[in-house]
Structure 1
Amino acid sequence: MLRKYYYVILLFLLAACIEPYSAEIEEGAQLLTVDGFISSAPGPHSIKLTRSDTYGSVFEGLIRPVSNATVIVRDDLGKVTFLSEDAEDRGVYYTPANFSAEIGRAYTLQIQLVDGKVYTSFPERVESGPELKNISVDVLKIAVEGEINERSGVQLIAEIDDPSDQNNFYYYRTGESTYVLKTRPDLFTPRPSETNPSRDPQPKDCCITCFRTELLGNQGIYLAQDDNFNGLSTKIPAGFIEDDGNRFVETYRTVLSQLSISQDAYRFLRLVKQQVEISGSVFDPPPANIRGNMISLDNPEEVVLGYFLAAGETRKTVYIDGNQLDFRQPVTIIPDDCRVIEGSQLNPPADWNP
């Protein structure tokens, strides 16, 4: 009995000795991020400035635009071009519409923030590159672990004649895309309400077919260097468009850009690609900030994320006939008027020419 009381008293004494520990976690820096490029293609070209938030902030994980900055592009002959900020999309700065980079010229991006801090890039030379001869397509299936149905989409294949007199580095991007969207307004059923508590269908008399425009962004980073095909005709994987059950019901159109970039830009993008494609295994390298070509003139030790690209660019438009693909996802039924879908319109774009 005495032993039981002894253990109880000892437990209270141990509990009384415990003091709460307050961990002091150093706040992370608000890192400036530069995202954008200029090219030899017609403008306008855009540069996006954002800043990450500090650890522990209520806005942690959000990206904040950097507004009211002075942004200029200067070439190696001293010519200066000012960029203007978008009135609605804050933090995005555009060159004039008539601006295009010149092959062989080197360009520097300079940024001055409202607090007076100044940032600059190292000079980027605009490289020449071959024309896009053709764009072919292949259906690509992707197995999903734990899922019965496979993901799928269209792989874009760029066909070029690589020049033999230079070492080339390529970066591929997809631009604005438009496709024929099919919906089922005859299946429209409004949400339950006092006037329609039973969710009875209320078919609409229009519209089944629209043309929807979207900006997918890059679904992956597509790079190539000509070490293995210098001076040869070759085909290069250049993009991927996922099949969501709507995009390839009929015709899909996209624009593929081929950017001829510097070796330093290629190295940066290759490191980004490697980090993006980390599989999550124990053998993966730990993620880290990848230093680009931007520096702070006030504090050279400050980390600035992103890379200012200047590149020679060629573009080619490709139309993809969904009926000619050897595999498509089941059609996703949209029970509504196609005009209510964001980015849709009844008439095709003026330059629509499958």
Structure 2
Amino acid sequence: MLRKLFYILLLIPFSCIDPYNVNLEEGEQLLTIEGFITTDPGPHQIKLTRTDTYGSVFEGLIRPVRQAQVNVRDSEGLVTFLTEIEPGIYETPEGFTAKLGLSYTLQIRLQDGREYASFPERVNQVAPIDNVSIRSVELATESRLETRVGVQLIAEFKDPGDQTNFYYWRTAPGSFVLVANPELYTNPPTHPTDPRGPAPKQCCAICYLVESNRIQSFTLASDEDFNGLETRRPVAFIEDNGLRFKDTYRAELKQLGISQNAHRYLRLVDQQLSITGSVFDQPPANIRGNIISLDDPDETVLGYFIAADVASQVIYIQPSDLEFRATPRIIPDDCLTVPGASLEPPSNWSFD
């Protein structure tokens, strides 16, 4: 019996396991500045955040930078202070506008005393938009079985021939008539064995919805190929998601004249956003903008402060304007159940 117990003990491995502590180096917290000022009436917003980067394996954490002192100084010495309206979001006074020919510098002082400033950005006049037209398009995707349909916005303008111009196009948040089908509403079952019964609602089939574009697409160009010429360029794409074009859609195109350095920065950002992820793509990198730390010139600060002239034009798109349409989405309920929907049209909506 003792001999059997001895052999059993020999089969049990005896070892001492030391705990392995994984010490991950905390990533550098990078200050990021987003926002711009234009010749449009304000308020204009500047967003301050700080990213914690832990390497390519980990997703960065984004935190708002609170209680900073933020101001914009023009080349004539006038200082305009911004107010923090939400954590990390700072806003100019209502009605503030950038002025043509002046240069503007963004100045930031954090709660811990560290200071940052942008290089001056001059406001150069942009060509007015003569017209905005649309083109209904169907775009191929990576899947052979799927396509994207929507509307291209085409800007028509005459580029000035006496200077080099850099263009930056983006759209303001769109708004549209939201069409629902409250007559299709059915009561939810009160018991697993209960069927859903029809329960048509009297209200409401028509609402208005203003979209909030969290990810803002943009288009860039320099006038190298069309200096001094009448130009017609596709500059924005609005995808048909099955709801946007069931009735009227309001789109506002903004054409900004930016500096050469701002154009270069945005072009690099655009190239990085277009990376597909293949092994032949260059790895993403932090793109330095025009903002520096006054305390540590070697500190990396992300983002770019833009001051620009802007030309805007609004276009209303009707379903009859579209050749290609997405499958309409049905909302079998009151349209007011959709977050952000309202029975009142937006203040900038025109019925002419």
TM-score where L is the length of structure 1: 0.89
Describe the SS at the equivalent of 1:31. Answer: strand
* Conservation of the 8 A alpha-carbon contact between 1:185 and 1:203: yes
What's the CA shift for 1:199?
2.6
Query: Taking structure 1 as reference, are residues 335 and 218 closer, same or farther at Cα in structure 2, changes over 3 Å only?
Result: same
What's the CA shift for 1:21?
5.2
Q: Which residue of 2 aligns with 1:85?
A: 84
Alignment RMSD, CA only? 2.4
- Identity across aligned pairs (percent)? 53
Q: Deviations over 1:180-221 (max 9, x none)?
A: 111111111344435994332322111111121113356533
CA distance in 2, matches of 1:22, 1:221: 45
Q: Which residue of 2 aligns with 1:281?
A: 278
What's the CA shift for 1:349?
3.4
Any residues of structure 2 matched to 1:184-195 within 5 Å, and which? 184-194=181-191
Letter in 2 for 1:291: R
CA distance in 2, matches of 1:217, 1:131: 27
Instruction: Name which of 324, 327, 332 aligns with 1:327.
Output: 324
Letter in 2 for 1:353: F
* Conservation of the 8 A alpha-carbon contact between 2:53 and 2:61: no
Describe the SS at the equivalent of 1:342. Answer: coil
Describe the SS at the equivalent of 2:336. Answer: helix
* Conservation of the 8 A alpha-carbon contact between 1:173 and 1:218: no
Q: Which residue of 1 aligns with 2:351?
A: 353
What's the CA shift for 1:30?
1.2
Any residues of structure 2 matched to 1:28-47 within 5 Å, and which? 28-47=27-46
Matched, 1:166 2:163: yes
Any residues of structure 2 matched to 1:112-127 within 5 Å, and which? 112-127=109-124
CA distance in 2, matches of 1:17, 1:70: 56
TM-score where L is the length of structure 2: 0.90
Q: Which residue of 2 aligns with 1:64?
A: 63
Paired residue total: 340
Query: Taking structure 1 as reference, are residues 90 and 28 closer, same or farther at Cα in structure 2, changes over 3 Å only?
Result: same
* Conservation of the 8 A alpha-carbon contact between 2:136 and 2:321: no
* Conservation of the 8 A alpha-carbon contact between 1:206 and 1:337: yes
Q: Deviations over 1:255-298 (max 9, x none)?
A: 11111000000000000000000111222111100000111111
Alignment gaps of 5+ in structure 2:
1-9
Matched, 1:264 2:267: no
CA distance in 2, matches of 1:146, 1:96: 47
Query: Taking structure 1 as reference, are residues 120 and 182 closer, same or farther at Cα in structure 2, changes over 3 Å only?
Result: same
CA distance in 2, matches of 1:161, 1:269: 23
Q: Which residue of 2 aligns with 1:76?
A: 75
CA distance in 2, matches of 1:11, 1:168: 79
What's the CA shift for 1:22?
4.3
Q: Which residue of 2 aligns with 1:105?
A: 102
CA distance in 1, matches of 2:200, 2:109: 56
CA distance in 1, matches of 2:27, 2:123: 35
Alignment gaps of 5+ in structure 1:
1-8
